[in-house]
Amino acid sequence: MTLEQLDTIASSSTFQNPAVQRWNEANQRTDYDVAIVGGGLVGATLACALKESGLQVVLLEAKPQSEAVARGQAYHINLLSSHIFEGIGIWETMCPGVNPIDQIHLSDAGDAATVQFVPKDLGTDVLGYVAEHRVLLEALRQRLCECSNVTYLCPAALVKTSALKTGVALDVLQEGDVKHLQARLLVAADGARSPLRHQAGIRTRGWQYWQTCVVAFIKSEKPHNNIAYERFQPAGPFAILPLPNNLCRIVWTAPKAEVEAIMALDDTAFLSALTQRYGEQMGTLELMGDRAVFPTQLMQSNRYVLPRLALIGDAAHCCHPVGGQGVNLGIRDAAALAQILQAAHQQGDDIGSLRVLKRYDRWRRLENVIVLGFTDTLNRVFSNSLLPLVILRRLGLWTLRTLPPARWMALKLMTGLSGRAPRLAQGIKK
C-alpha cells in the first residue's frame, strides 16, 4: 500500500485500521520524549528497548533502509548482547542467521601451544555468536514496526538542533522537506564521528592505531566446526569468525603499509597469503565478495551526558577490533540507558535532566574504559617482538592453558558477563 493510498483511506472517518492510525499519528506528531539520532545497531536497539517504557520515541536514520542494511560487516555478538536481544524479544528472529561459537582457539605466532576455550570453562552452552550486520539490523527493524510508541523516520537526517527551555528543537530533513520536531532528550547514536558530540563540544581522548584492518568473507572446503580463532602475529591480531553456511569472517589487522600491500594482491595471491596465516586445517579457501579496509582507533568521550543529551555506542567510545567488543559495548549502553530512562519516567523525574542522565554516565563510562584498556593492552602486548613482552605473553598464555580460573576470568570479560547486567539481559523487562 502506498503512502497516498494510506492517506486517502485514513481520511475516511469510518476507517479503524490501527496501522493507518499509527502512520497518521507518526506523521502528525512533532513532540517526543526521546529523539534517537542514528538507526545503526545501537540506536535501533535503544528504540526497541524502550518499547514498554511509556515514552514516545522518534528514531532518525539518514541512510536509506536498503543501504544501511547492506553494510557488509559481521560481528562477534557476545553472550550479554544475545541476552539483551532475548529480553527485547528478537533473539528468536535473529537465530537462523546467527552462528554459535563452540570453541575459541587463542595462539601466538611462533608458539605451537594453543589456548582452547570451551563452554565448560564458563558453565554456559556456547561462548558467543557471530552474525552479519543485515541479520541483526533487519530483526531490529522488524521489531521497530511492532513498537507503537516508536516513530521510525528513514531516510531522515538531523540537520540542526537548538535548545528549548525543557527540551531540544530538531530540524529533520526528510524527502526534501524540513520537519520541525522537539524532544525532551536527544540521544546521539550517530557513530564514531558523531556530529552531535562535536556540536555539543564534548571532547574525547584516544588515538588512531598504527594498524588498519582488512576484512573479508571466505568459504572453506572443510567445515569450520563453530570454532573462532584469534591468532596473534607481531603485525597485529588475525581473527576468524564462524558464520552460517560454513562462511567465515576474516579480520586481519596489520600496519598500514602492510595492509596496502595486502589489498594490492589479486584474489589468488590474497587467498594464498591467507592460507599461510590460516594454516591448512580448513582446506581450500574461496573469497566471497570484496575485501574492505577499516581504520582502527581507541576513543573515549570525556563525558557521555550533558543536560538533554546522551551519547551511546561508537558516538561515545571506540575500541580496537581485537576480541570483537565494539558493538557489544554499544548494545549494553543502549540497554542501560533504556533502563534508567524507564525508571526515571515511572518515578516522574525529568528524563533529560543531568541528575537522571548522570546515572547512565556513572554506570557505563567506567565499564567501557575497562574493556577499552583490555583490548588496547592485548593488542600492544601481542603485536610486538620485544623479548620481555614475548616472555610476558607466553607466561600469560601458559596461565590460561593451565589454570581454569584464569580462563573463567578472561571469558567473563569477553562474553560481557562481568560488570552490572542491564535488567533486560536478566529477562526482567520492567
Q: Enumerate the H helices of 98-238 as residue ranges.
A: 133-145, 195-199
Shortest approach of ligand FAD to residue 329 CB, angstroms?
7
Shortest approach of ligand FAD to residue 392 CB, angstroms?
26
Burial label, 180 (beta-carbon count in 10 A; 0-12, 13-18, 19+): exposed
Shortest approach of ligand FAD to residue 313 CB, angstroms?
2
Shortest approach of ligand FAD to residue 353 CB, angstroms?
24
Q: Rg for the chain (alpha carbons), in Å?
A: 23
Angle at 200 between CA 199 and CA 206, to 5 degrees: 90
| Partners of residue 105 on adjacent β-strands | 116, 229
Strands across the sheet containing 204-220: 114-117, 103-108, 227-233, 236-242, 247-255, 204-220, 285-301, 317-318
CA distance 229 to 114: 10
Shortest approach of ligand FAD to residue 20 CB, angstroms?
26
Shortest approach of ligand FAD to residue 99 CB, angstroms?
12
* Identity of the residue numbered 405: P
CA distance 374 to 265: 33
Shortest approach of ligand FAD to residue 294 CB, angstroms?
3
Q: Which is nearer to ligand FAD, 37 or 259 (CB)?
A: 37
Distance of CA 277 to the CA centre of its chain: 27
Q: Which is nearer to ligand FAD, 20 or 135 (CB)?
A: 135
| Partners of residue 114 on adjacent β-strands | 107
Q: Which is nearer to ligand FAD, 89 or 195 (CB)?
A: 195
Q: Which is nearer to ligand FAD, 107 or 328 (CB)?
A: 328
* Residues in touch with ligand FAD (CB under 6 A): 37-43, 60-63, 68, 73, 75-76, 157-158, 189-191, 195, 213, 215, 251, 294, 313-314, 321, 324-328, 330
Strand-pair category, 31-37 with 150-153 = unpaired
Q: Which is nearer to ligand FAD, 47 or 400 (CB)?
A: 47
Q: Which is nearer to ligand FAD, 215 or 338 (CB)?
A: 215
Shortest approach of ligand FAD to residue 108 CB, angstroms?
20
Q: Tell the residue number behind the cell numbers 530540524, with chain if given.
A: 171
Q: Which is nearer to ligand FAD, 157 or 306 (CB)?
A: 157
Q: Which is nearer to ligand FAD, 55 or 215 (CB)?
A: 215
Longest CA–CA span in the chain (Å) reads 80
Judge contact between 217 and 74, C-beta under 8 A.
Answer: yes
Q: Rounded to 10 degrees, what is the CA torsion of 20, 24, 25, 31?
A: 150
